[in-house]
Amino acid sequence: MIYQIEFKTEENRLLYAESFSPIYTPKRYRNWFGQLLEHSPFCERDYKLPQNLKAHDETGEFLIKVKKQDTLHHMVYATHPFDVVGWDGYNYPYGFSIHNFEPITGRVHQPPPVHQTFETNAFVICSFCPRLYDYHPKAIPAPYNHSNIDSDEMLYYVDGDFMSRTGIDQGYISLHPAGIPHGPHPGTYEASIGKKGTEELAVMIDTFKPLKLTKQALAIDDGNYYQSWLDH
């Protein structure tokens, strides 16, 4: 599918995920027709669909990049690729804003799957949005320490206050490999007691196979994150 992204400003941060298999909404939120159910944290009305298509009729040389088997191939079109006024079928780009995700909350801590937005056969994507904390009188909002046994956990911190983390800023990325225990930093349990809500905005991707770090990723590692659970 040919698409183009336009930005209003050059000040942008992007988290880009690609999948070799189709990306679906969570099965538990769909009926057997494929419609999102009423208890889903979002619905079809939240999708941003293509509108006001403008045909671009022009001849020349237009570079198109197609990714095939993990390699970008260059193709040169003799006519502009947007020389259409519509499409036939159901294959078209759409947008979904994280701000349209309605968090599911409860009296006690809700497990991470309530934040799930999309899924493939290789990973899931979750949205952590501004929400009320657990409202049981004895609830501790900070999540419990845990160890993922079947997935690597990558978190991209977008904006707001990150209740379970100290020293985390906008644009940070953390990676918690499967089998490695992790949880809130020292002191954040106590600090969360009595808090009513959070304004955090983050995206989590859990992969079912181990993530492999690139040289570029290792180059931006702060080198100290693994020690952040020590109470200094």
Indicate the DSSP class of residue 228.
T
Domain boundary among 93, 128, 153: 93
> Any idea which residue has 């997935």 for tokens?
151
Quote the mean pLDDT of the chain. Answer: 89
pLDDT at residue 231 in the model: 67
Q: Is 126 exposed, middle or buried (0-12, 13-18, 19+ CB in 10 A)?
A: buried
The pLDDT tens digits for 37-49 are: 999 999 999 999 8
Residues 172 and 76 in one domain: no
> Any idea which residue has 């180059």 for tokens?
219
pLDDT at residue 232 in the model: 56
Residues 102 and 193 in one domain: yes
In angstroms, the CA 65 to CA 15 distance is 19
Give the list of residues 6+ apart from residue 172 with CB closer than 8 angstroms, or none.
Answer: 156, 157
**Tally of domains within the chain:** 2
Reduced to 3 states (helix: H, G, I; strand: E, B; else coil), residue 212 is: coil
| End-to-end Cα, the chain, rounded Å | 52
* Residues of the chain falling short of pLDDT 50: none
Instruction: Specify the pTM.
Output: 0.87
**Residue 76, domain extent:** 50-93
Query: Residue 44 half-sphere exposure, CB side, CA atoms within 13 Å?
Result: 5
Does a structural domain hold residue 62? yes
The pLDDT tens digits for 128-164 are: 999 999 999 998 888 888 888 899 999 999 988 776 7
